[in-house]
Amino acid sequence: MAEHTEDHDHGQAHYVKIWAVLLVLLVISILGPILAPHIEIGFMKAWMWTILFAFGIAVVKAYLVAANFMHLNIEKRYISYMLATMLMFMLLFFAGVAPDVMRHKGQNWENVAAEAEIERALKAQGEAAHGEHGGEHEAGH
Amino acid sequence: MSMTKPIATTRSATGIPTGKLAVWWVIGSEIVIFGGLLASYIMHRIGHPEWAEYASHTNTWFGGANTFVLLTSSLFAVLAHYAAEHGDGKKAAKWLLATCAGGATFASIKAVEWSIEISHGYTITANGFWSFYYTAAGIHALHVIAGCIIMLIIARQAWKGEELHRVELIGIYWHFVDIVWIFLFPLLYIAK
């Protein structure tokens, strides 16, 4: 009732509302990939929907928590810049290392161990699936 | 009030109370720790097609339940902050204890989940995927446990009406731990 001299109007109802939205998003992120195979529209393949549901929603959820619960929306701007800088470090790390990890062959190099492990594992999975489903070849990819 | 408050907790040349600035700095560091781990996981996952089969053995319902628990505990943490902001230390302490209960529930669900997985042979040394799974979720779980311990200490102070600003500080940390899980959940449970 008695409104204090607050510079923002984040009442308890507001927090509960944000929480409810987060729960709805959680349900969508679980159901999305289950429904994904049935909603191939145009160029949107099933795996694209899964990625969209999984990570698109995660980004929205993280934003809602950061802005409303951590109050980044009313915090000094330089805090957001600092956190964004740290995220940039993560992207920099990814950009520098990922090309070598995601591929196993380059112009002058070959990651023999990784290739051998992939081949071995896929073969083992294929045989396991073969045994379970009686003839179906179900190696994951 | 106490006259012996350390200067570092009260002065503010940055426009932000120093304690809060320190928490933001911790979170900045944590972004690099968890970010590096998650980035490594993503690049390995893309580079290793065989991991898709390993990942299909994680249990979405355990993960989903834990997401629900953490999101709800975050709500409790922000309600504790709201109470502290209005000078109600006892109420803030109660909400902090509720948040802690959320953390304990999270850890319990994790314990059951891991027990089942380990009993099925999915151990940390089984393969690269499970190594990442236990490392990432394990470091996250340690953050949950550490947060709970700090929260209990702060709840005790808040109950006596002392150091109410700390309620917000532990809240900010807790929300960050929540955000890390928000990304771990799709990475380990949804993208199969």
From chain B, pick out residues whose CB is under 8 angstroms from the CB of A57. Answer: 186
Nearest CA in chain A to B66: A26
Q: Which two tokens stand for residue A103?
A: 């591929």
Rg (CA), chain B: 19
Interface touch A65/B50, C-beta < 8 Å: no
SS3 B184: helix
pLDDT at site A129: 79
Nearest CA in chain A to B56: A140
> What are the distances in angstroms from CA B124 to CA A54, A135, B131, B175?
24, 31, 5, 28
Question: What count of other Cβ atoms lies within 10 Å of the Cβ of residue B142?
Answer: 11
pLDDT at site B6: 65
The b/e string for B54-64 (b: 16+ C-beta within 10 A; e otherwise) is bbeebebebbb
From chain B, pick out residues whose CB is under 8 angstroms from the CB of A125. Answer: 50, 53
Least CB–CB distance from B43: residue in A10, A51, A94: A94
Place of tokens 């294929």: A126
From chain B, pick out residues whose CB is under 8 angstroms from the CB of A87. Answer: 31, 35
Spacing of C-alpha B39 from chain mean position: 19
Average pLDDT along chain B, 192 residues, taken 10 residues at a time: 60 83 96 95 92 92 96 97 95 97 97 96 94 96 97 97 94 97 93 76
Interface touch B183/A58, C-beta < 8 Å: yes
Residue ranges, chain A, pLDDT below 70: 1-10, 43-44, 132-141
CB of B16 less than 8 A from some CB of A: yes
pLDDT at site A10: 59
pLDDT at site B4: 66
Measured CA angle at A57 (ends A55, A58), to 5 deg: 60
Nearest CA in chain A to B67: A26
Amino acid at B90: K
CATH fold of the domain at B37-190? Four Helix Bundle (Hemerythrin (Met), subunit A) (1.20.120)
Q: Which of residues 73-112 of B touch A (CB under 8 A)?
A: 74-75, 77-79, 82, 85-86
Report pTM.
0.89
Q: Which of residues 138-177 of B touch A (CB under 8 A)?
A: 171-172, 175-176
Shortest Cα distance, chain A CAs vs residue B76, angstroms = 9
Cβ atoms A111, A104 nearer than 8 A: yes
pLDDT at site A135: 43
From chain A, pick out residues whose CB is under 8 angstroms from the CB of B68. Answer: 23, 26
Q: Which two tokens stand for residue B41?
A: 């996981």
Shortest Cα distance, chain A CAs vs residue B2, angstroms = 25
pLDDT at site A136: 43
